[in-house]
Amino acid sequence: MSNELINVTSPLLPSIKDFNVLLEVIWEKKWLTNNGYYHEELESALCKYLKVPYLSLFTNGTLPLIASLQALRITGEVITTPYSFVATTHSLWWNGIKPVFVDIDPLTCNIDASRIEAAITPTTTAIMAVHCYGIPCEVDKIEEIASKYGLTVIYDAAHAFGVELNGKSILDWGDISTLSFHATKVYNTVEGGALICHDAKTKKRIDYLKNFGFADEVTVVAPGINGKMDEIRSAYGLLNLKQVDQAIAERKKIVETYCEGLKNISGIRHLDYSDASIKHNYAYFPIFISESEFGTSRDDLYEKLKEFNIYGRRYFYPLISNMPPYRGLNSSHTDNLSVANKIANSVICLPIYYGLSLENVKKIIMLITDFKKGR
């Protein structure tokens, strides 16, 4: 067996030849950023692909989170999930907002909607949820709670590029959703991101905010930031958009191979992909190890795979609420986050990316099987 290094992910890259053609156009136009030609083209191409009317490009996936809270003037406390990439909570902190963590659903790893009401206080203004691993949150329940209490809903949809629920984009739910186009995501522009809203007025306000608050040459209407995406990455993004469907189709085959290969190994659970109302993007393949059933700890399996040059990642461990900047916060007074802690201590995301051969997927399955047998 070869010992080729297999990482948890590998970026989707456009052909360098095609990219060069667009670079030459950019060099000729000498327009590098600030709503350039490819920027405008990518915004409309993404609107069409994602089936959303209003989308603003950003230079990464964190700034749209920060800008969404500014645009909607969110203050006080925001109910959120501890089980995510740190940027979700950081965006609240950068706005002077107190994150209030609520436990997650063990099956989806998303915020447990049935626990949200207990965490609402007089200073709660919004819910910031994450479609973790690209699996949709309980969007209808969250919407019901939000309208009952007059709360705003922001979805960090960094994992949910192209995901649909009942034939509609998952980005249709909530007041604002955000995407990340970081190199490690299903669709990337090297670094990049976007904010999706539902009306022209909000989009305009967002576009001011991402350009220092400038409404025109001499009018600054808000303390904005620089969140603009440049022409080079917009051009790259246009090329990657053409191959993302194929990349998702390949990811689907990888997920099916993992599911089939791991189904008889007791002590290993994975996400459920059988709900026909969801169009998945197969962004990640997390497995959850039950130490008592599998017979070995998550960390031992993780290290063992590394010995064979297989680099999974413990996404999301440690839990955000256990990280030094946030561990002093009381989460909602009713919530000890026991599910989230358990999930964070049992997860390994196995390698999945466009170009990962099914042969290598089978090799990973075999290693896990052997490890269980050979203990």
Measured from each CB, the residue nearest to ligand PLP is 61
Q: What binding mask, one character per residue, do residues 106-135 give for ligand PLP by CB under 6 A, x or -?
A: ------------------------x-----
Q: What is the spatial distance between Cα 321 and Cα 334, in angstroms, rounded to a whole number? A: 15
Is 60 one of the binding residues for ligand PLP (CB under 6 A)?
yes
Between helices 16-29 and 231-262, what is the axis angle to 10°? 160
Report the residue count for the chain. Answer: 375
Q: How many residues bind ligand PLP (CB under 6 A)?
A: 14
Q: How far is CA 180 from CA 134, 256, 285, 358, 360, in A?
A: 12, 25, 18, 27, 28
Token output for 153? 């809903």
Binding piece for ligand PLP, criterion CB under 6 A, among 5-13, 60-68, 106-114, 216-224: 60-68
- Output the smallest distance, CB 94 to ligand PLP, in A: 12
Binding piece for ligand PLP, criterion CB under 6 A, among 24-32, 55-63, 138-146, 274-282: 55-63
Nearest residue (CB) to ligand PLP, 115 versus 182: 182
Q: What binding mask, one character per residue, do residues 148-187 give for ligand PLP by CB under 6 A, x or -?
A: --------x-xx--------------------x-x-----
Whether the CB-CB separation of 128 and 92 falls below 8 Å is answered with yes
- Output the smallest distance, CB 309 to ligand PLP, in A: 25
Nearest residue (CB) to ligand PLP, 86 versus 278: 86
Q: Is 27 exposed, middle or buried (CB count within 10 Å of its CB: 0-12, 13-18, 19+)?
A: exposed
Nearest residue (CB) to ligand PLP, 66 versus 368: 66
Q: Which of 85, 101, 282, 353 binds ligand PLP (CB under 6 A)?
A: 85
Is 61 one of the binding residues for ligand PLP (CB under 6 A)?
yes
Q: What is the spatial distance between Cα 114 and Cα 108, in angstroms, rounded to a whole number? A: 14
Amino acid at 4: E
Nearest residue (CB) to ligand PLP, 13 versus 358: 13
Q: What binding mask, one character per residue, do residues 311-330 give for ligand PLP by CB under 6 A, x or -?
A: --------------------
Q: Specify which residues 154 forms β-bridges with.
A: 128, 176
Token output for 322? 């256990």
- Output the smallest distance, CB 87 to ligand PLP, in A: 4
- Give one DSSP letter per residue of 316-341, joined into a string: T-S-GGGSTTTTTS---TT---HHHH
Is 189 one of the binding residues for ligand PLP (CB under 6 A)?
no
Q: What is the spatial distance between Cα 210 and Cα 37, in angstroms, rounded to a whole number? A: 18
How many CA atoms does the CB half-sphere of 149 hold within 13 Å? 22
Our measurement of the distance from residue 73's CA atom to the centroid of its chain's CA atoms, rounded to an integer in Å, reads 23
Nearest residue (CB) to ligand PLP, 257 versus 281: 281
- Output DSSP code: residue 161: T
Is 205 one of the binding residues for ligand PLP (CB under 6 A)?
no
Binding piece for ligand PLP, criterion CB under 6 A, among 46-54, 82-90, 204-212, 346-354: 82-90
- Give one DSSP letter per residue of 56-115, joined into a string: EEESSSSHHHHHHHHHTT--SEEEE-SSS-THHHHHHHTTTPEEEE--B-TTT-SB-GGG
Q: Which of 62, 108, 177, 257 binds ligand PLP (CB under 6 A)?
A: 62
- Output the smallest distance, CB 213 to ligand PLP, in A: 21
Nearest residue (CB) to ligand PLP, 54 versus 85: 85
- Output the smallest distance, CB 159 to ligand PLP, in A: 6
Q: Which residues bind ligand PLP (CB under 6 A)?
A: 60-62, 84-85, 87-88, 130, 156, 158-159, 180, 182, 193
